[in-house]
Structure 1
Amino acid sequence: MNTKHSMRQCPFSPGTIGLSADHQHYQQEEWLFETNRSHILNSKCTSSVVCNKTRSITKQSSTMGTPRKSLDEYLNSKHRIYYERGLCQYCKYDLILSMAHLPDMTYASNHLRLVHKKSRLIIEFNALDALAPIVIKSYGLPIGLKVSASEAWLRARMNCEYTRNVCNADFDWTFSTDYSGTFRQDSLDKSSLPTEAKELRPDQPPLSELIQPTDERINMEKLKIHKQINFFDEIELFEDELADHGVAQCSVKIRVHPDCFYVLCRYFLRVDRVFVRYFDTRIYHEFGSDYLLRERSQHESNIADLNLSTDMAQALLINPQELFGHVPIKNLVVDKITLSPSIV
């Protein structure tokens, strides 16, 4: 039976704070689905008196002031800072990520969350974790590809206190992220503190034991067949117009059918007249099966190499969904994620 439900908030979730009225719950089979949509993050601190006091006593790493962090540094900062009551949401993002500049539109309270009741596995997509790969990996543009847009982006923000030293920082102004979701273990102990919730890392047990490479692929042709949609939503995580020289955006959408569900998290970059890039994560599950399929792909190309006619290019370059089929694939990783009770 497909029913609406009241779902307990997942502990230590960046998407939990600041829930809006546009908050949806849906339940089908052994799965709970939750989405939240809210306003963009403020561009500066909203409670400086309180935040400055907390900042003064909050220990910062030696790398503060540069955007680069290791995965461990990021996770430690998140667990230490995100639930600090003396900080506004802007300051939490600023301290955790230490980015020279956040995307112009960062939807800090937006999220998509999937909960498998039997295994208590949670898969979530939220803005904070979507931004993390930018400071950890810093993809940027391919080596040797220089564009005027980068200089224009910096000039447009030179008066911002967080970009005064950006020329000396290893900062990815394209906001490129290969974010593929956040995994958590739900706790049955409702009295547990948010900071005690366990975030699962794909490179460590138990999650690393449940994620294995596979030759099985998501049947995209099957998904193209018209059939009933029981639940659908599309959530924006962040977007930036690159100082009017293109667009960088990250969003996630979900479709739940009577027999399966499908999730697509997509980062799309277009630097006008220069370059396009996609980082896609697709998750597919057939109800009743004991696993999910996850496909992570990277597609990119110089725009000149796409060989698009002038008329076709004008239409396609502003439509990521239609353009996707024209951009060659660079990398593909396919995993099978087992839904095992052993995770608890």
Structure 2
Amino acid sequence: MDAKQQQSTMRHCPFSPGTIGLSADHQHYEQDEWLFETNRSHILNSKCTSSFVCNKTRASMMKMAGDDQSKNDADQQQQQHQSTGTPRKSVAEYLDLKRRVYYERSLCDYCKYDLILSMAHLPDMTYASNHLRLVHKQSGLVIEFNALDALAPIVIKSYGLPVGLKVSASEAWLRARMNCEYTQNVCNADFDWTFSTDYSGTIRLHSLDKSSSPMEAKELREDEPPLSEWIIQPTDERIDLEKLKIHKQINFFDEIELFEDELADHGVAQCSVKIRVHPDCFYILCRFFLRVDRVFVRYFDTRLYHEFGSEYLLRERSQHESTVADLNLPVHTAQALLIHPQELFGHVPVKNLLVDKIHLSQIKLN
């Protein structure tokens, strides 16, 4: 496919997204039974951008939920969670908040994230409108990677650092910042300041009918049917990464950042997703990378692989982590490796690995 044909395909994709904040940097590509879509935009604002409208909407939503707090009480509650830490949520609580808040047009993006996640401190660079979405036209399966859902495991699971590990030079760092609000949040056990997330994508079933509302898409949970019983099943088959290293034509490629934070100049936490579509297959890597300087490194990787014409996708989810002292990196290359996640990855031991198949044929049957 030449550049002119690909550009035309991107403009006329039949899938209508319905995601907040679509930007000019928005691409579509279609191949075989699959639609691919990426969106890239600016970072989320650090505060509400329309306080009068948002506060009115917040009060209305609280009233509808049966809460008779006054606006002042609501503001006080919001300030309290921002200063004392991030309240934990169950999967059900998160999904319910997302369903009620995400498509509310009279809330700015910041308020949507604040209401749904209630995090004491969002990553410094949160790309609220960025996403990668792929759609299997025949079954209506949608697999999406977006910033909001990538942040959800932080408030649901809260991985943090392994017990006993502290930021390098933490005592001096804390003493110099005793009155800093960020430091108070870092010290609070309820706030996972590492932003560690094992996000592996969001799975939905959706009609491709443009008249349908985005809210009508059914978001599926991996611990419940049909995903847990029919669609996703464990397998011994593995993605052949050596095969993917062979040079071949790339029909579509993109890399999307979801969030990043520099951990108050003591490392980096970043989450991104990239996709390659070849004539015979596609490959996706969603990666969370954490480096706490001179202390610890961690990866949460999700890899998706599909050969066009087959009835399933292979998915590998892995966790890799180590203290920096245990890495035994070559002295002359250690510093360079630590700031390049791709090169460092091969030196970090695997802690957990889960491999499964996502069966496309099973979706039609259920």
Q: TM-score, normalised by structure 2?
A: 0.87
Does residue 1:218 correspond to 2:239, yes or no? yes
Number of the residue aligned with 1:266: 287
Number of the residue aligned with 1:138: 158
Flag structure 1 segments of 5+ consecutive residues without an equivalent.
none
2:194 & 2:280 partners in 1: Cα distance?
A: 38
Change in 2 beyond 3 A, CA 1:168/1:276? closer
Task: Report the alpha carbon displacement of residue 165 of structure 1 after superposing the two structures with TM.
Answer: 6.0
Counting only pairs closer than 5 Å after superposition, residues 5-154 of structure 1 correspond to structure 2 as: 5-11=12-18, 16-59=19-62, 65=81, 66-148=86-168, 152=173
SS in 2 for 1:17: coil
1:46 & 1:250 partners in 2: Cα distance?
A: 25
Does residue 1:342 correspond to 2:364, yes or no? yes
Does residue 1:314 correspond to 2:352, yes or no? no
Amino acid at match of 2:15: R
Amino acid at match of 1:124: E
Does residue 1:298 correspond to 2:319, yes or no? yes
2:341 & 2:143 partners in 1: Cα distance?
A: 25
Change in 2 beyond 3 A, CA 1:55/1:343? farther
State, as a whole percentage, how many aligned pairs show the same letter: 78
Q: Is the 8 A contact 1:282 1:294 kept in 2?
A: yes
Number of the residue aligned with 1:240: 261
- Range moving further from structure 2, 130-139 or 206-215: 206-215
- Range moving further from structure 2, 229-238 or 143-152: 143-152
1:246 & 1:328 partners in 2: Cα distance?
A: 20
Task: Report the alpha carbon displacement of residue 163 of structure 1 after superposing the two structures with TM.
Answer: 7.9
Number of the residue aligned with 2:71: none
Amino acid at match of 1:36: N
Q: Is the 8 A contact 1:207 1:343 kept in 2?
A: no
1:342 & 1:48 partners in 2: Cα distance?
A: 45
**Aligned-residue RMSD, C-alpha:** 2.4
Structure with higher Rg: it is 2
Q: Is the 8 A contact 2:257 2:272 kept in 1?
A: yes
2:221 & 2:215 partners in 1: Cα distance?
A: 16
Q: Is the 8 A contact 2:186 2:192 kept in 1?
A: no
1:273 & 1:328 partners in 2: Cα distance?
A: 17
Task: Report the alpha carbon displacement of residue 233 of structure 1 after superposing the two structures with TM.
Answer: 0.4
Does residue 1:231 correspond to 2:252, yes or no? yes
1:154 & 1:179 partners in 2: Cα distance?
A: 34
Q: Is the 8 A contact 2:271 2:287 kept in 1?
A: yes
Q: Is the 8 A contact 1:149 1:242 kept in 2?
A: no
2:32 & 2:178 partners in 1: Cα distance?
A: 49
Does residue 1:250 correspond to 2:266, yes or no? no
Number of the residue aligned with 1:333: 354
Q: Is the 8 A contact 2:137 2:208 kept in 1?
A: no
1:21 & 1:202 partners in 2: Cα distance?
A: 33
Number of the residue aligned with 1:194: 214
Number of the residue aligned with 2:70: none
Flag structure 2 segments of 5+ consecutive residues without an equivalent.
68-73
Task: Report the alpha carbon displacement of residue 331 of structure 1 after superposing the two structures with TM.
Answer: 0.4
Q: Is the 8 A contact 1:32 1:117 kept in 2?
A: yes
Question: Which has the larger share of helix?
Answer: 2
